[in-house]
Amino acid sequence: MREKGLSQQEEIGRRIEEIRAGISRVKEPEIAGRRMGAGFENIFVPKARQIQKNLYNTAENNTISKLDEIANRFEQSPELQQVLGNRQIMSIRDAIIKSRNENGMVPFQTLRDLRTTVGEKLSNVDLTPDVSKAEYKALYKALTQDLDEAVAPYERARNAYSRANNYTRAFHDRMDRVQNILTKANGEDVYSAVISGAKDGPSKLRSVLRSVPKDDQKALVSTFVARMGRAAPSLQDETGEVFSTSRFLTNYSALDPAARNELFGRFGKEFLDDMKNIASVSAKIRESSQILANPSGTAGAVVGPATVASVGGSIAAGKFGFAAGMLEVLLGANQAARLFTNPKYVKWLSSNIEKPVSSAGAALATLSNIAEKENDPDIKEFVDEVKSQSTGGE
């Protein structure tokens, strides 16, 4: 039993390693933390500052550019410029430049007042005999339209400036939350600071992960997964890689549920579900270990899949439900990890988990039909083993 239990732990450990390696090869805290710090300083911060700069540039330049366009419309024809009064537009442009506040913005009301004043001034110009009233009205309408077009970009600029301010505020808030974490002197301190916060909730963890490139997020999660199931030093071998479902479950359960989603849900639903399934396997192994442990506590130290004969008395006494007892302890070493990450098996198990032992035959028949219909070799192997062990290998 002990040998089977150890083999089962190894099989699940290998499955964890496959899942982890699928997102990143990094599994050392020093490397993961150093990468996150570098990604924050060299990629996130410069990129955020460039976005900030671009937003402010948009806010500052639109209005002046539009007025320059109007003022210089007849730059190549001084005579037309004199007749159409573009000197007034130039004066407006110069006044606007001088009236900008410390943030580089022109007060909105100032532009509106200027537009009204210019309109009144133009409407009071003495007409020469060569200019009809209709022509003047057309000219006034065209010039007023030009001024309106000059104001419109300003309103857009004001909105852009507001967006720039909001972005800057959010950027500074983010820096306040994560800078002291991601700029620590060494990688291990960065890693420890990030992971320790995952026990309290998702907010700080979310801010940190959003502040580093995707590959560095993967390096962090890969490192955490690699260490989640690492057995205690007293149970390790010389490689230090012995896997323990108990340690994995303890570390998984210690995470805030929302923080789990932040860590494991960033790389697709499949990765998140894999972590949940491994935790489910680990929980079931722990439960069966506690049930099978003898009073002295020596038999349950390592969980071992048992034959029907080894638990027959408990089953007959009604100690186990069918699925919660017999089927779970019948799992072979190479079956456990595969079956508990098999959606068809998990669905079947969940629908039978509370059924009594008397339902064993019907439940197995259902599972056998699933194996045949889906052509699933793992489930078929399991059904055959259950049948074989329940008949004593006949």
Three-class DSSP category at 334: coil
Residue 292: what pLDDT?
40
Question: Where does the pLDDT of residue 56 fall: very low under 50, low under 70, confident under 90, or very high at 90 and above?
Answer: low
Query: What is the percent of the chain with per-residue pLDDT over 90, rounded to a whole number?
Result: 9
Residue 132 neighbours by CB under 8 Å, 6+ apart: none
Rounded-to-integer distance, Cα 66 and Cα 333, Å:
75
pLDDT at residue 272 greater than cutoff 80: yes
Rounded-to-integer distance, Cα 284 and Cα 54, Å:
55
For residue 346, the Cα-to-chain-centroid distance in whole angstroms is 27
CB atoms inside a 10 Å sphere around CB 181? 23
Closest CA to 262 of 343, 13, 271, 230: 271
Rounded-to-integer distance, Cα 42 and Cα 216, Å:
12
Residue 335: what pLDDT?
56
| pTM reported for the whole predicted model | 0.52
pLDDT at residue 380 greater than cutoff 60: yes
Rounded-to-integer distance, Cα 1 and Cα 208, Å:
45
Question: Where does the pLDDT of residue 203 fall: very low under 50, low under 70, confident under 90, or very high at 90 and above?
Answer: confident
Residue of 389 and 162 predicted with greater confidence: 162
pLDDT at residue 58 greater than cutoff 80: no
Tell me, what amino acid is at 292? Answer: L
Rounded-to-integer distance, Cα 341 and Cα 22, Å:
16
Closest CA to 86 of 127, 122, 132: 122
